[in-house]
Amino acid sequence: MKILTEADFRSSTWSGGTTTQLIISPEGASLEERNFDWRISTAVVKTEVSDFTVFHGYERILIPLKGKLEMEHRTPNGVIRQDVSEFELARFSGEWSTKGKGKITDFNIFFKPVYHPKLHISHFSGETEVVLPETTDMVFLESGSCTAGIRFIHAPALLLIEDSEKVQLACSKDSRIISIELDLVD
């Protein structure tokens, strides 16, 4: 298992606030050049109304970590409105012109449609031992702390899991994780 922490993340600004890239694949790919297969990031939206950047050829999953977001997507078939509360998942096309309303902190996955991501959010109100399914590719420790073997991990952190690696986490009270599977579409 490899653990990425804030020292490994890359932050930048966009029209509505800041974004922090947790990981991009393949390594060395660039968001600006749109030559990536998938990208995981967080963002802080500092304006009440913001225009999302268009990502042709990509799908998006967004989860508000703090705050509520109202989205208006302009699609080829008309307008779609989507209200998303904290820790709810919104999936939409990166090609749509999307306007957001709400100051939030969010978690994002951008991916080419050849991927089929699965996410699971877990909040631990007390100290909890968790054995991750072998299909788990990554875990984002959003809040709190966990121990994996002898490694102490404090949020925010991204745990990259090796193929078929059995991972057991001991999570502290009030920890929250997002487990991620990034499978190719069959």
- What confidence tens digit (pLDDT) does each residue in 62-104 have? 999 999 999 999 999 999 999 999 999 999 999 999 999 999 9
pLDDT greater than 80 at residue 128 = yes
- The pair of three-digit structure tokens given for residue 99, joined into one six-digit string: 């306007």
- Considering the entire predicted model, what is its pTM? 0.93
- Position 180 pLDDT exceeds 80: yes
Residues 6+ apart with CB under 8 A from 47: 15, 16, 17, 103
Judge contact between 63 and 89, C-beta under 8 A: yes
Residue 53 tokens, joined = 């950047």
Nearest to 27 by CA among 179, 160, 165: 160
Give me the pLDDT at residue 129, please: 95
Q: Which domains does the chain have, with CATH numbers?
A: 6-111 (2.60.120.10), 115-184 (2.60.120.10)
Share of the chain above pLDDT 90, in %: 87
Distance from C-alpha of 64 to C-alpha of 186, rounded to nearest angstrom: 29
> 3-class SS at 114?
coil
pLDDT digits (tens, 9 = 90+) for 10-23: 999 887 889 999 99
